[in-house]
Amino acid sequence: MNMLVDGEWRTDAYEANDDDGSFQRQQTTFRDRVRDDPDAEFQPEAGRYHLYVSYACPWAHRTLVTRALKGLEDAISVSVVDPYRGEDGWQFAPEKEGCTRDHVRGADYLRELYVEADPDATCRVTVPVLWDKREDTIVNNESEEIMRMLDTEFDDYATRDVDLYPEGYRDEVDRIIDEIYEPINNGVYRAGFATRQEPYDEAVDNLFAALDHWDEVLADQRYLAGDRLTEADVAMFTTLVRFDNVYHTHFMCNVQYVREYDNLWPYLRDLYQTGVDDRREGTPDGRTGSGARRDPGERLDEANGEERPVSEATRDSGVAETVDMDHIKEHYYTTHPDVNPHRIVARGPDLDFEAPHERDELPGSPPADLAAASADD
């Protein structure tokens, strides 16, 4: 496995599995916070912070969904790495479809940013990264915390009135995020990276027990925390949307597809369609998702005084536009040679995320600013 050790890139630094064959996720290192507080070191500002993401990564995807739902595209710029992660770690490949250059530092590899933030860094080089363009440093590289900061600290710069951590729901949101992390969000990795039968069996059993449970819960309520769309849904979404195309096959989570669940599948489509604005100019055939997406760094170019098309300037994006299934599939199937040595990308299944979901008949609705833009309306 590859990581930084004392600021040097090493390709032999640590093993990700315990002796018993269980996958161990490493702790995240940069844990500062942007706070809407005059005494805070990192205060919210438009144009000051930059996100480094991979469209493939479910953790980074949480931050992209939150940015889109809140309408923070003009306030927080984004660079997208190559979905293929090789020996050199995440790298920028602006010539590849859906990828961008490093808009801030012009780096070739993400690890350069880590070393710039801490010349003696000893850590994995992961996405997402929240970068401070003023101090030239990493604020935070833990998705749950970045999601929370974007959600709660940047309201002055958000173009939509959307609160994904509402008063009265906070304990429940925190509880659910915790509860789904181990069996579901991390559980698919525990199954896929297990090197012995027992830890694999345990991960798969726990994963499907948790999915069965939430499928039941979602029979009677629109969202995980009840009638409000929250960060818990964002955390669940980025795992579910990858499930049938990747985790089911590549990580052997093949007891059942998400599309076979009575409630999880319509719930997934509901979330996918949230914030999609059918009044906005899209692709000529009305496609959403990766087909309608553009380089998210364009907004940064504008912040730097470069031009972008006027028609793009007022567009808020929805969840669909944060999903790039090509990047997702390329990343997983080609980046884990231990799991898939020939790097063949599995073809199916072809899912219709835009099919009607009828979840609006259940108690609950998205925030008004998102409901107005819903594709189901």
Residues flagged as binding site for glutathione: 90, 124-127, 142-143
Both tokens of 311, joined, read 């028609």
Catalytic (active site) residue 333: no
Both tokens of 34, joined, read 């942007």
Catalytic (active site) residue 247: no
Q: Classify 364 as helix, strand or coil.
A: coil
Angle (deg, nearest 10), helices 264-272 and 231-242: 110
For ligand GSH, give the closer residue by CB, 92 or 261: 92
Rounded to a whole number of angstroms, the minimum distance from the CB of residue 347 to ligand GSH is: 22
Report how far Cα 6 is from the mean position of its chain's Cα atoms.
28
Q: Residue 172 carries which side chain, given as an amino acid letter?
A: E
For ligand GSH, give the closer residue by CB, 54 or 374: 54
Q: Classify 196 as helix, strand or coil.
A: coil
The active-site residue out of 52, 55, 57, 84 is: 57
Rounded to a whole number of angstroms, the minimum distance from the CB of residue 11 to ligand GSH is: 11
The b-or-e profile of 131-149 (16+ CB within 10 A means b, else e) is bbbeeeebbbbbbbbbbbb
For ligand GSH, give the closer residue by CB, 248 or 269: 248
- CA-angle at 305, arms to 83 and 143, nearest 5°: 35
CA 200 – CA 54 distance, rounded (Å): 26
Q: Quick check: 172 and 57 in contact, CB under 8 A? A: no
Both tokens of 296, joined, read 């998210």
Q: Residue 44 carries which side chain, given as an amino acid letter?
A: P
Rounded to a whole number of angstroms, the minimum distance from the CB of residue 286 to ligand GSH is: 31
Rounded to a whole number of angstroms, the minimum distance from the CB of residue 92 to ligand GSH is: 14
For ligand GSH, give the closer residue by CB, 126 or 334: 126
CA 246 – CA 149 distance, rounded (Å): 29
Rounded to a whole number of angstroms, the minimum distance from the CB of residue 126 to ligand GSH is: 3
Binding site residues, ligand GSH, CB under 6 A = 2, 28, 57, 59, 124-128, 141-143
For ligand GSH, give the closer residue by CB, 114 or 265: 114
- Burial (CB count within 10 angstroms: exposed 0-12, middle 13-18, buried 19+), residue 62: buried
Catalytic residues, by residue number, are 57, 189
